[in-house]
Structure 1
Amino acid sequence: MTKLFTHQLRVRYSECDQQNVVFNGHYLFYYDVAVTELLREATVDYAAMVEGGTDLVVAEARIVYRQAARFDELIDIDMPITRLGTTSLIVRPRFRVGERLIAEGEVRHVFTDSAAGGKKEMPSTVRAAFQPYTSTGE
């Protein structure tokens, strides 16, 4: 059975725009916080991975906005991993307030050589850590 990682955060006043809703640019920041927590739960030591010569970077990000989130609301960010490739992985985050879908998207990460740059194969330890969270069973 696939594990679904969900991270929850509360909208702060400073994250809202003049329309009193979360400014669109904050959703990628929220995603970054959630992916960091996913790494932590999956026991991927990011700093050790980088020291070992592999980094993980965002290659592509797309977000579709459905509804507005507002100050002090709790946003749940579901983080299903939908693909584990050779040098990349795809996460399809869903941002919800209660049952309301606020936004959803797709973020493609690429593993790179932390010193020289360029694509690099995903470390087997990282693949094993992400496997339980992968909805396609790859």
Structure 2
Amino acid sequence: MPLRVRFHECDPQGIVFNAHYLAYFDMASFEFFREVFGSYDNLRARGVDTVVAESNLRYRAPSHYDEELVVAVTLDHLGTTSLVLGFTVLRGEEVLTTGMNRYVFVDAETLAKTAPPDDVREKLAARMPE
């Protein structure tokens, strides 16, 4: 997912404030789900939703206002009731930040933890690296 750093995302030191990387991860996750299911709403129409249960980030280099970045997404794990997306924020070939979010599948109405339907699992499993 390409993005351009906006001025308001930068702190007084002129670098992207750390919490904005979680927002970048969130935006990229929706693009991932759009690619897999056509839209996030299509996933919810199958009766499941996802919630973030864990996040982890590692900052390697700063990014600044107006820089063009790319957030790469990988499906790193697919469990019975959860999945892990890995994120890499790049400026050209330079890795700026890496991280992950663990998502738990929940019933779209009750928000109770649940396993996804088989067709949802199959579409996601097709994205797992070999």
Determine helix, strand or coil for the equivalent of 2:104.
strand
Determine helix, strand or coil for the equivalent of 1:68.
coil
Deviation at 1:51, TM superposition (A): 4.1
User: In the alignment, which of 62, 70, 90 is matched to residue 64 of structure 2?
Assistant: 70
**2:3 maps to 1:9:** yes
Q: 1:22·1:69 contact (CA, 8 Å) conserved in 2?
A: yes
Deviation at 1:42, TM superposition (A): 1.3
Deviation at 1:110, TM superposition (A): 0.5
Sequence identity percentage:
37
Deviation at 1:124, TM superposition (A): 2.0
Q: CA RMSD in A?
A: 1.5
CA–CA distance in structure 2, aligned partners of residues 28 and 69 of structure 1: 14
The residue correspondences of 1:29-44 to structure 2 (distance < 5 A) are 29-44=23-38
Q: What residue number does 1:92 align with?
A: 86
Deviation at 1:84, TM superposition (A): 0.8
Deviation at 1:55, TM superposition (A): 1.1
User: In the alignment, which of 97, 101, 113 is matched to residue 107 of structure 2?
Assistant: 113
TM-score, normalised relative to structure 1: 0.86
CA–CA distance in structure 2, aligned partners of residues 96 and 27 of structure 1: 12
Bigger mean CA offset, 122-131 vs 10-19: 122-131
Unaligned runs of 5+ in 2: none
CA–CA distance in structure 2, aligned partners of residues 44 and 109 of structure 1: 19
How many pairs does the alignment contain? 130
CA–CA distance in structure 2, aligned partners of residues 48 and 97 of structure 1: 31
- Counterpart residue type for residue 33 of structure 2: L
CA–CA distance in structure 2, aligned partners of residues 49 and 92 of structure 1: 20
